[in-house]
Amino acid sequence: MPRLMLSDEFWSKLEKILLQEAIYNKRNLRMTVEGMLYRMRVGCPWRDLPEAFGSWNSIYKRFNAWSLSSKWL
C-alpha cells in the first residue's frame, strides 16, 4: 500500500473542512483524498493510481466534480 500523506490528526481536521464544503462523507472519502494528493505529488496519470486508493476513475470523477464546483482548488 502506498505511504499515506495525511496523519490521523491532520485528516480529522481536513475532514471537518471538507464536510463544511458539502462534500458527501462516503466511507472511502479519506482514500479518495489521499489518491488525489498522491497523484498531485507524484504526477502520475490517473490510470496509474495504485489500486489501494480505490477506482482511479471514481477518484478522477470526484476530483473533476469538486474542482468544477470550487470545492477543491
> Which pLDDT belongs to residue 73?
66
- Extents of the domains making up the chain: 22-69
Q: Convert the pLDDT of each residue in 21-39 to its tens digit.
A: 888 888 889 999 999 999 9
Q: Which amino acid is at 49?
A: L
The share of the chain scoring above pLDDT 90, in percent, equals 64
For residues 39 and 49, the answer to whether their CB atoms sit within 8 Å is yes
Residues 40-59 have a mean pLDDT of 94
**Alpha helices in 1-73, H assignment, sequence order:** 8-20, 29-42, 56-68
Separation of first and last alpha carbons in the chain: 26
> Which pLDDT belongs to residue 44?
94
Banded model confidence at residue 55, pLDDT cuts 50, 70, 90? very high
Q: Which amino acid is at 37?
A: L
Residue 52 DSSP one-character state: G
**What is the average pLDDT score of the chain?**
89
